[in-house]
Amino acid sequence: MYTRTLENQLPKKSFFLFGPRQVGKSTLLKKKNANLTIDLLDPELQLSYTKNPNLLRQQVEELKESSTIFIDEVQRVPKILDVIHSLMEQKPKLTFILCGSSARKLRHGAANLLGGRALYRTMHPLTFEELSGTFNLQWILAYGSLPKIYTTLNQRKPAEAEDLLRAYVITYLKEEVKAEALVRNLQGFQNFLDVAAAQYAEQINFSGIARDCQIALSTVREYYSILEDTLLGTFLYPYLKSQRKRMSHQPKFYFFDNGVTRAILGTLKDQPSRIEQGRLYEQWFIQEIIRHNEYFQKDWKLSFWRTSHGAEVDLLISRGTEILYAIECKISPNPSSSDLSGLRSFHESHPKVPCFIVAPVKQPLKLSFARVLHPTKLFKELGN
């Protein structure tokens, strides 16, 4: 069992908790000891509430006024949210905990999102802080940090972890994409997923992907939207002062977990090459920052920085119009001045912004204007 960051930070009032499959949402929420628990992953229950959403109202009538109702996989029966909305108005002492692995069907299906009456939280795979003394960077790079996968690795069963990750991808395609009718052409989406996974942590060439998959450019953008809405990954846009211009430039896409990325690519049996380790390390660190930002509600804006001449910084952290930090990811335990090229170009135009290299170094060090810190040290620097 892992102590999750969200455990002591969940709202006291009604809330949605979304997150990818198997990150531990249900395990966490079952600790809330709800008075009524409804798991809509159960086909019979799903059918019952689909036919008669008011069944929920009838059940709530038997509960105390201050009861807590936990509904898992809520996106499977969007109409039940109309009943919940009505109950929240009629019985304000009720608390609803609504959990799901995708908000896409709710957002795109014009479902009732409760008009601000419920807060939103997102849960992610295990963070380095949650892993604490069991944190193993090589496992994180090769297998990611989904709780069940990491527990299996701790039991020294890498082959079983690989099987579970392959099954995860199949389950995602079958249950999230096909069952929710998110795409008409499942094979076309599978082809896109293979190509998109090969481009993780790189600027997206939308036209190239459309050409390789033989699908329309608009379809490629829609497929990326599906990945984002089903919480399989996140866009990172280049830093530009104009928001409109920022959105017009090619973003990068980071998958939510390294193990799932490698399962899609079919490379779980292989040890990551040095180049792949660098990309996996960058993806893991960016996702750690995203998790930190959401869990502690830092209100950071995240972006990368790239000039027309190709100088690049992996991550800028901003709040409002102020750039707070510039961070470059390096997998080498011995970074040198040659690793400063992107940061140096940035530093020349933004000399007051603190610059960091995050690398698996044993001791912090200073390289010219930049500090080199281990990820654990850097997170302490960023603070909660």
- DSSP assignments along 131-198, one per residue: HGGG--HHHHHHH---HHHHHHHHTT-HHHHHHHHHHHHHHIIIIIIITTT--S-HHHHHHHHHHHHH
The mean pLDDT of 257-272, rounded to a whole number, is 96
Q: pLDDT tens across 165-193, in order?
A: 999 999 888 777 876 667 878 888 999 99
Q: Is residue 16 a part of any domain in this protein?
A: yes
- Per-residue pLDDT band at 115 (split at 50, 70, 90): low
Beginning with the edge strand found earlier in the chain, give each strand of the sheet holding 355-358 in spatial order.
252-255, 233-238, 301-306, 312-319, 322-329, 355-358, 370-373, 365-367
Show the tokens assigned to 317.
């952290």
Percent of the chain at pLDDT > 70 equals 94
Q: Is residue 284 a part of any domain in this protein?
A: no
Q: Is residue 286 a part of any domain in this protein?
A: no
Which of these, 80, 248, 262, lies nearest to 165 by C-alpha position? 262
**Model pTM score:** 0.92
The answer on pLDDT for 330 being more than 60 is yes
Instruction: Centre a 10 Å sphere on the Cβ of residue 205 and count the other Cβ atoms it contains.
Output: 14
Q: What letter does residue 203 receive in the DSSP assignment?
A: B
Number of domains in the chain: 3
| The last residue of a domain, from among 122, 147, 173 | 122
Percent of the chain at pLDDT > 90 equals 75
The answer on pLDDT for 374 being more than 70 is yes
Instruction: Centre a 10 Å sphere on the Cβ of residue 322 and count the other Cβ atoms it contains.
Output: 10
Q: Is residue 287 a part of any domain in this protein?
A: no
* Alpha carbons 41 and 33: distance in angstroms, whole number: 19
Q: Which residue has the higher pLDDT, 241 or 319?
A: 319
Q: pLDDT tens across 11-51, in order?
A: 989 999 999 999 999 999 988 889 999 999 999 999 999 99
Domain extent at residue 64: 5-122
Q: pLDDT tens across 303-323, in order?
A: 999 988 889 999 999 999 999
| The last residue of a domain, from among 230, 253, 279 | 279
- Per-residue pLDDT band at 302 (split at 50, 70, 90): very high
Residues 271 and 146 both lie in one domain:
yes
C-alpha atoms less than 13 angstroms from C-alpha of 354 in its C-beta half-sphere? 13
The answer on pLDDT for 110 being more than 50 is no
Residues 114 and 139 both lie in one domain:
no
Residues 158 and 42 both lie in one domain:
no
